[in-house]
Every structure is written in C-alpha cells, then in structure tokens.
Amino acid sequence: MSNLTSMSTFLLWEFSGVRELQILHFFLFLGLYLTTMTGNLLIIAAIVLDHHLHTPMCFFLTNLAMMDMGSASVMMPKSLANSIMNSRSISYSGCVAQVFFYMFFVAADFAILTVMAHDRYVAICNPLQYEAIMHKGACIQITVIVLIASLLYATLHACSTFAITFCSNEVQQFFCEVPTLLKLSCSDIYLVEVGVIVLGCCLGLGCFMFIIITYMQLFATVRRIPSVHGQKKALSTCLPHLTVVSLFMGTALFAYARPPTNASSDLDIAFAVIYTVIPSMLNPFIYSMRNKEIKTALWKLINSRLFFINFTEMCEDVL
C-alpha cells in the first residue's frame, strides 16, 4: 500500500449511511454531551459558591469535573458536526489534537482519583493531622504535578503515535483512538507506541493497586470505630469516590478486556461510547446523590436560579 504519511485528513467511522439515522445519532450524542456538561458545571458551581464545600475533597472533585468536561469535549463536538454535515473527515492536526487532549484528560482524571483515595485515607485514618497534611498549598502542588505529568504523558503518546507511517486514512472508530490508529500502520515503528501503551497500563495498574491498598487500610480503620453510626458516617464519605473509581476501571476493562479484531463493528463503537462518555456523564450524579452536602448545595443553587428567573419574569411583567 502507498505511503500516506503526507495525508491531510483522516476518515472517521460513519454511524450510518441513512440520513435519518445520522440525525438520530446527532440528537442522541447531543443529549449525552449536554447532560455531561450540565452535570459537571453544576457540581463546579455548587462547590465554588458554597463556602462549606471549600475542602480538599471538593477541590479535587472540581478538578475531576473539569477533566470530565474536557474529555467529553475532545471527541463529541466533532462527531456531532460530522453527523449534522453528513461528513466523515477530520484533519490531520485535528486527529493529533484528539489523541493528545484525550490522553491528557484521561491521565489527569485517573491521577486525581488516586489522589482523592489518599485524601479519604488521611481524613479517616489520620484525622487529627488532616488539615496539616491536606492544606491548600499541598492540594495546589499535587494538582500542578498531576497536570504536568499528564501533559508529558499525552505528549509522549501523540508524538509516538504520529511518528508511524500510515498506509490508510480509514479510522474504524468515531474518534481518533490510539489502538485504532495503530492498525493503520505499515511500519515497525508502531512498536514504540505499543511500548507507551504498555507503560500507561503499568502506571494505571500501579495507581489502581494504590487505591485498593489504601481502601484496605481504610476499611480496617473503619472496623475499629466503636459505634455503628461512626462507621456508616466514615464509609459514606468514601462511597462516591469508590463508585466513580469502579465505574472508571470497569468501563475501561469492559472495552479492552476482549479479543482484538481487525474489523470494526457496531459493538466496538458501543464499547467506545461506554468507556469515553458514560463515566464523565455519571460522575456528577454519583457525587450529588451520595454526598449530602453537595446535594444540599445543588438544591440551593437550583432554587436560587429558579428564584432569579421568576423574579426577572415578574419585573418584565410589571414593566
């Protein structure tokens, strides 16, 4: 096959050649995208506006919400635009940007979840020194380190992926997914990117094991709490984070822990939607339902918004 490294565009997978189904896909993805953005924006607004939520856990939750918004915005707007315009193309630079930013947001997302596990450990196992350990300066430093490490990891991914020779521009996925791009390679240099993927898997597994060990120690501490009420109160602060971690890892394993195939299918696209869109969409709902303080802050925010709208309408009627 001819060398296509000088290509200017890639062709993404088309959900359907039927125009009506393309419109259906547009509205389905639009609903998922708006739900994701609205839920995460509400979480951020509730935490910023309620001073009772200015805690290390909520600080990291705000960063998590921003990462979720970013990861959803990497691929869904382009997919929406292609559906409504009956197009499949994405520019070469656009594909590079998708790989870079998606890897950045996902890496930062998982790193923040790992830090949040440490935050819960300190809060429950070492409560007297919690404020001294998880102070504002430490939280900011941790976040900066996470962002820098994620930037380096994303840069490594993007550079190694697009250093390969592509023999086709047919991407059998609705966004520029790294494993799908590697299938287009016709040179051995793709092994460099495979090495980067293995490195990422090892780092991810290391973070996951850290979370597991942290929660084992945390549960051991909770069991020593004499009152049942105290045990339930301690566990209630951990359940949202544990649920989000389980969702994050579960959807990734669900998508990748299966035999690889050379041909794409509707099932591959469904798996991709599950692990790229669903966690970002559900995270704010998990935290708002499981955390009473956040739920209260959200109700205050919504009620104040409704009051503002009603007051504005009353003023317009009077005028």
Output the pLDDT for position 182: 81
Distances (CA, A) of 202 to 47, 110, 161, 196: 33, 13, 18, 10
pLDDT at 317 over 90: no
* Amino acid present at 155: T
Q: Determine the pLDDT at residue 3.
A: 45
Instruction: Please give the C-alpha separations between residue 196 and each of 94, 190, 261, in angstroms, as whole numbers.
Output: 21, 10, 21
Q: What is the pLDDT of residues 44-70, one digit of tens each?
A: 988 888 888 888 988 999 999 999 999
User: How distant is the alpha carbon of residue 51 from its chain centre?
Assistant: 26
Of residues 102 and 169, the one with the higher pLDDT is 102
Higher pLDDT, 112 or 168: 112
Other CB atoms within 10 Å distance of the CB of residue 254: 12
pLDDT of residue 113: 92
The Cα–Cα gap between 167 and 268 comes to: 22
% pLDDT > 90, the chain: 25
- pLDDT band at residue 111 using 50, 70 and 90 as cut-offs: very high
Look over the chain and give the mean of its residue pLDDT values, rounded to a whole number.
82
Give the pLDDT score at 312.
53
Share of the chain above pLDDT 70, in %: 86
User: How would you label 292-302 residue by residue, b for 16+ Cβ within 10 Å and e otherwise?
Assistant: ebbeebbeebe
- Helix, strand, coil percentages in the chain from 3-state DSSP, rounded to 5: 80, 5, 20
Q: Which of 52-61, 173-182, 211-220 is predicted with the least confidence, judged by mean pLDDT?
A: 173-182
> So what's the pLDDT on residue 254?
65
Angle at 137 between CA 216 and CA 63, to 5 degrees: 65
Higher-pLDDT residue of 179, 259:
179
Residues 144-170 have pLDDT tens digits of 999 999 999 999 888 888 888 888 888
13 pLDDT higher than 90: no
Q: Which residues pair with 94 in a beta bridge?
A: none
HSE-up of residue 30 (Cα within 13 Å, Cβ side): 11
Q: How many CB atoms lie within 10 A of CB 273?
A: 19
Question: What is the pLDDT averaged over residues 80-95?
Answer: 88
The residue behind tokens 């630079």 is: 93
**What value does the CA radius of gyration of the chain take, rounded to a whole number of Å?**
22
pLDDT for the residue numbered 290? 66
Do the beta carbons of residue 9 and residue 90 sit within 8 Å? yes
Rounded CA gap, 176 and 94, in Å?
9
C-alpha 200/C-alpha 110 separation (Å) is 11
Are the CB atoms for 95 and 306 separated by under 8 Å?
A: no
Instruction: Kindly report the pTM of this predicted structure.
Output: 0.85
Domains of the chain: 9-318 (1.20.1070.10)
